[in-house]
Amino acid sequence: MKRCVRAPDTEPVRPRAVHDLEVFLTDTGQLLTTPLHSLHLSLGARMVPFAGYDMPVQYAAGVLKEHLHTRTRAGLFDVSHMGQVIVKADSGAYADAAAALEKLVPVDILGLKEGRQRYGFFTDENGGILDDLMITNRGDHLLVVVNAACKAADLAHMQAHLAGCSVTLLDDRALIALQGPAAETVLATLAPEVAAMKFMDVRDVALAGAACIVSRSGYSGEDGYEVSVPAAKAEKLARALLAHEACEAIGLGARDSLRLEAGLCLYGNDIDTTTSPIEASLDWAIQKARKAGGEREGGFPGADRILGQLANGTERRRVGLKPEGKAPVRAHAKLFADADGAKEIGEVTSGTFGPSVEGPVAMGYVPTAFASAGTQVFAEVRGKYLPVTVAALPFITPTYKR
């Protein structure tokens, strides 16, 4: 589909304004639904196609208020479209599953403790990013959570390359994110033990009569949880959480502005097969064990290029971009070194108005010489070259419970 933030000619004020979120729109065939679909409809959600699913982009409050509610109280997000995958070694040993997955990701998975999770990415032979994912040590197996749009490809990739392991999609479970400063209070009303969890801890927890897997993590920059729940019990759990006065349902629109303020990448926008993890400023996600001189140096697709970039640097980097004026600078805006638009240097990959920042925020790729915070560049917006300052990410201060 056309990636377009301007109104089409036929519809100057777009009654159903679309956004880059719909870049993964599959415009053929039936849309899939999540176990919370009827809940969304009953809450008056505005539904849009996203990654092949009919998903809520916003509820009655609208994106701006939903965003601010999540930063001040607690927001509940349906992220059931994402893929939850079990990787288990035929031997039954965690170490065998971890060693197998390490061949696909530049992440220390053998060193991941039981009940802990870590961010990572599948790389390709060119050092590009096939998808980003969360990886949990579940004792005798791995739980991997991948993006909805990449789910089928990721499954095939793992099934083809994880020798001696079974790879199973948990398509009978929903995934609910609960984010915001009141998330702990809200979830603890159902299970007080979640209050003791730290950022990136993962536990088995009974919630509203359902056997859930709870992680203390998320995609908003706020403290919070992600809850994997059996599909048949998902709506009951969601309604129990929404019954708390601090908790409101939040759509994909606010999910996008929250993650952008938090400096988190959206696969397909900010990272893809044309960006390496080092260009994407994700060096922090590659642990010492997998770097040059580490115990298990390299050994993942594209390791030569990625480790070479770690040693020698890259030509370009993903950076935060703070427009100096009030106009949002959105994805695909071209970046220039000068105010006349003579020297093009890069492109914005995500951009919006940040409700908590109370101004426009963006991220994109610039040559390394322009990547230091404070450097001024210019973004082309409707034929004008607007001044933009390279900024440290994130734009807000995360409140993770470390």
Partner 1 sequence: MLKFTAEHEWLKLEGDVAIVGITQHAADQLGDLVFVELPEVGATFDKNGEAATVESVKAASDVYCPLAGEIVEINDAITADPALVNSDPQGKGWFFKLKLANVADADELLDEAAYKELIG
Site string for partner 1, 140-179 (x = CB under 8 A): ----------------------------------------
Which residue number, 18 or 79, has a Cβ lying nearer to partner 1? Answer: 18
Question: Does residue 383 touch partner 1 according to CB under 8 A?
Answer: no
Segment interacting with partner 1, rule: CB under 8 A, options 88-96, 127-135, 205-213, 327-335:
327-335
Which residue number, 17 or 310, has a Cβ lying nearer to partner 1? Answer: 17
Site string for partner 1, 214-253 (x = CB under 8 A): ---------------------------------------x
Segment interacting with partner 1, rule: CB under 8 A, options 14-22, 213-221, 239-247, 296-304:
14-22
In the complex, what is the shortest distance from the CB of residue 317 to partner 1, in angstroms, rounded to a whole number?
26
Instruction: Name the phi and psi angles at 152, rounded to 5.
Output: -65, -45
Which residue number, 20 or 108, has a Cβ lying nearer to partner 1? Answer: 20
Q: Which helix (H) or strand (E) holds 132?
A: strand 129-137
Give 95-127 as a DSSP string: HHHHHHHTTTSSS--TTPPTTBEEEEEEE-TTS
- Which one of residues 2, 382, 397, 402 is an interface residue with partner 1 (CB under 8 A)? 382
# of chain residues touching partner 1 (CB under 8 A): 32
For residue 288, the tally of other CB atoms under 10 A from its CB is 12
Tell me the sheet residues that pair with 322: 389
In the complex, what is the shortest distance from the CB of residue 359 to partner 1, in angstroms, rounded to a whole number?
9
Residue 333 CA to its chain's centroid (Å): 21
Which residue number, 27 or 358, has a Cβ lying nearer to partner 1? Answer: 358
In the complex, what is the shortest distance from the CB of residue 348 to partner 1, in angstroms, rounded to a whole number?
13
Which amino acid is present at 129? I
Tell me the sheet residues that pair with 211: 206
Segment interacting with partner 1, rule: CB under 8 A, options 204-212, 214-222, 237-245, 326-334:
326-334
Site string for partner 1, 60-99 (x = CB under 8 A): --xxxx-x--------------------------------
Which amino acid is present at 58? Q
| Structure-block tokens of residue 280 | 């994407």
CB 211 within 8 A of CB 234: no
Q: How many residues does the chain have?
A: 402
Q: CA nearest 26: which of 130, 159, 152, 123?
A: 152
Question: Does residue 18 touch partner 1 according to CB under 8 A?
Answer: yes
- Which one of residues 80, 137, 147, 257 is an interface residue with partner 1 (CB under 8 A)? 257
Can you say whether the dihedral through the CA atoms of 175, 177, 183, 184 is positive or negative? Answer: positive
Site string for partner 1, 357-376 (x = CB under 8 A): ---x----------------
- Which one of residues 14, 198, 288, 343 is an interface residue with partner 1 (CB under 8 A)? 14
- Which one of residues 52, 127, 302, 355 is an interface residue with partner 1 (CB under 8 A)? 355
Q: CA nearest 21: which of 401, 397, 396, 350?
A: 350
Measured CA to CA, the distance from residue 316 to residue 184 in angstroms comes to 39
- SS3 track for 81-99: CCEEEEEEECCCCHHHHHH
For residue 298, the tally of other CB atoms under 10 A from its CB is 14
In the complex, what is the shortest distance from the CB of residue 210 to partner 1, in angstroms, rounded to a whole number?
33
Question: Does residue 58 touch partner 1 according to CB under 8 A?
Answer: yes
- Beta-carbon contacts of 332 under 8 Å, excluding residues fewer than 6 positions away, are 3, 5, 347, 348
Name the residue with tokens 């159902």. 190
Point out which residues bind partner 1 (CB under 8 A). 5-7, 11-19, 57-58, 62-65, 67, 253-254, 256-257, 326-328, 330, 352-353, 355, 360, 382
